[in-house]
Amino acid sequence: MLKKIFIKAEILTMIDEQLMISNGALGVEGSQIIYVGETPNQEVLDQYDEIVDCAGKAILPGFINTHGHVAMSLLRGYADDLPLQRWLEEEMWPLEARFTNIQVKAGTSLSALEMIKSGTTTFLDMYDHMDTVAQVTTQAGLRASLCRGVIGFGSDELRKHKLNEAVSFATDWSGAAEGRITTMLSPHAPYTCEPDFIRQFVEKAHELDLPLHTHMSETVKEVQQNMDNYGLRPVEHLLNLGFFEKRALVAHAVHLTDSEIDVLWEHDVKIAHNPVSNLKLGSGIARIPDMLRKGIRPSLATDGAASNNNLDLLEEIRLTALIHKGYAQDPEVVPAITALKMGTQYGSEALFLDDQVGTLEVGKQADFITMDLTGPHMQPRHDVISHIVYAASRSDVLDVYVDGKALMRNRECLTLDEERICFEATQAFKAIVK
Ligand SMILES: CSC[C@H]1O[C@@H](n2cnc3c(O)ncnc32)[C@H](O)[C@@H]1O
Ligand SMILES: [Zn+2]
């Protein structure tokens, strides 16, 4: 028999495409939501095994972080204040070349802990040593879309080996961790993978019915380089390679023309907007208001903690609600509710998981968080969505559930050993830096 939990709180639900907060309750059976609504009578309540009283808390869908490199938390603060290409070529790639499973396990565990503590229930990771990332994800209890990111430099033989590794990983781990792990295929970027190589990823993705993921149009320099090398801007380049024919998610999409936005819309390409990372690397500000006007539903992401420097999705939600208003000199362009949807519902669409998570609805997986509404910064409580977006911080996240299983209760992480993970992260970093 599956355990039935009933949670009473202020609850954030979808009503006619609108996120609404109301006083209510969430019923969970096993890993699924079986009830959303008003508190039922005692007879119904008696059928539940556990009643959790969350008075003074809001329940909302867990945050969904749609692009990152979780093991890079090990390099947090290591090389700040550099532009993308110098940061990658002179600082990140030389150090990442020293990463073994030890560093990836330590960095991924550190990030899993940080994500749980800040309310993220699903994340995407593009990296190397992905078996280790998948093992840590399983242990942490998180949901993830995982892909072996491939940089196509080196010999034909090396490229072939990396593509095979990416495919094996994607097929071996798809549906693992009781369905919490899904996979994608991911050439790193058009500037690190030649067209023929990208085409091989596209063919494999179509053959295996897997989504594709890549970095695209992050900097002006990269767009110019693409024009110099191939005579095309990145969107048309990837379009010609068949990248957008089926399911595709691109990270960044900062530098787009009007017609490129049209192409992405026409092909239903999903976008991972990384506002903090784009600001920190001086890459620019993506045209989110124009995308929203067109009907694109961009999701939110942190990128790796080395270019952010944290994995706090609530910060991305808040910044998204603020920066585009300032840049457009128009406070109506990204309302609070839209920013919150970008961090939850649109995130589930970007990872092709919207039939499972992203909103609190009967039949979906029970991935949800609770947030404390009792602090002074959350009063008076007349607009909870406004408070969550503009006033709350990650330490207001109290409980985190994935598949109906508690990963954190009252800020205590139940699946990971916080002290050990912080200690091991420092040790693993010291082992690769002289
Ligand atoms: C091949 S694994 C992923 C690869 O991506 C690098 N990376 C981290 N942040 C960014 C970014 O903003 N743009 C492009 N590439 C990035 C990371 O260092 C790994 O090598
Ligand atoms: Zn990235």
Regarding whether 238 and 338 lie in a shared domain, the answer is yes
Q: How far is 70 from 128, CA to CA, in rounded Å?
A: 10
What band does 429 get if pLDDT is binned at 50, 70 and 90? very high
| 415 Cβ closer than 6 Å to some ligand 1 atom | no
Regarding whether 369 and 281 lie in a shared domain, the answer is no
Regarding whether 193 and 235 lie in a shared domain, the answer is yes
Could you give the number of structural domains in the chain? 2
- pLDDT at residue 52 tops 80: yes
Residue 430 lies in a domain: no
Residues 187-238: pLDDT tens digits? 999 999 999 999 999 999 999 999 999 999 999 999 999 999 999 999 999 9
Residue 236 lies in a domain: yes
Q: In terms of Cα–Cα distance, which of 236, 245, 185, 174 is closest to 214?
A: 185
Regarding whether 326 and 188 lie in a shared domain, the answer is yes
Residue 312 lies in a domain: yes
Regarding whether 339 and 369 lie in a shared domain, the answer is no
Regarding whether 105 and 40 lie in a shared domain, the answer is no
Regarding whether 377 and 265 lie in a shared domain, the answer is no
Residue 429 lies in a domain: no
Regarding whether 256 and 123 lie in a shared domain, the answer is yes
Regarding whether 156 and 84 lie in a shared domain, the answer is yes
Q: Domain range for residue 39?
A: 4-61+360-413
Regarding whether 275 and 367 lie in a shared domain, the answer is no
| 151 Cβ closer than 6 Å to some ligand 1 atom | yes
Nearest residue (CA) to ligand 1, atom 18: 92
Regarding whether 339 and 234 lie in a shared domain, the answer is yes
CATH number at residue 39: 2.30.40.10
What band does 266 get if pLDDT is binned at 50, 70 and 90? very high
* Mean pLDDT of all residues in 129-157: 98
pLDDT at 381: 84
State the distance from the centre of ligand 2 to the C-alpha of 329, rounded, in angstroms.
28
* Mean pLDDT of all residues in 39-50: 90
Residue 104 lies in a domain: yes
Regarding whether 71 and 57 lie in a shared domain, the answer is no
Residue 157 lies in a domain: yes
Ligand closest to CA 303: 2
The angle subtended at Cα 393 by Cα 387 and Cα 395, nearest 5°, is: 130
What band does 16 get if pLDDT is binned at 50, 70 and 90? low
Ligand closest to CA 189: 1
CATH number at residue 249: 3.20.20.140
* 267 carries a ligand binding annotation: no
Q: How far is 288 from 38, CA to CA, in rounded Å?
A: 36
Q: How far is 235 from 222, CA to CA, in rounded Å?
A: 12
Residue 433 lies in a domain: no
State the distance from the centre of ligand 1 to the C-alpha of 125, rounded, in angstroms.
11
Ligand 1, atom nearest to 92 Cα: 18
* 377 carries a ligand binding annotation: no
Residues 380-420: pLDDT tens digits? 988 889 999 999 999 999 999 999 999 999 999 999 999 99
Residues 154-188: pLDDT tens digits? 999 999 999 999 999 999 999 999 999 999 999 99
Quote the percentage of the chain above a pLDDT of 70.
Answer: 97
Written as six digits, the tokens of 361 are: 């609805």
Buried-state track 83-115, b at ≥16 Cβ within 10 A, e below 16: ebeebbeebbeebbeebeeebbbbbbbbbbbbb
Residues 338-384: pLDDT tens digits? 999 999 999 999 999 999 999 999 999 999 999 999 999 999 988 88
| 96 Cβ closer than 6 Å to some ligand 1 atom | yes
The pTM score is 0.98
> Where does a domain end: 324, 350, 376?
350
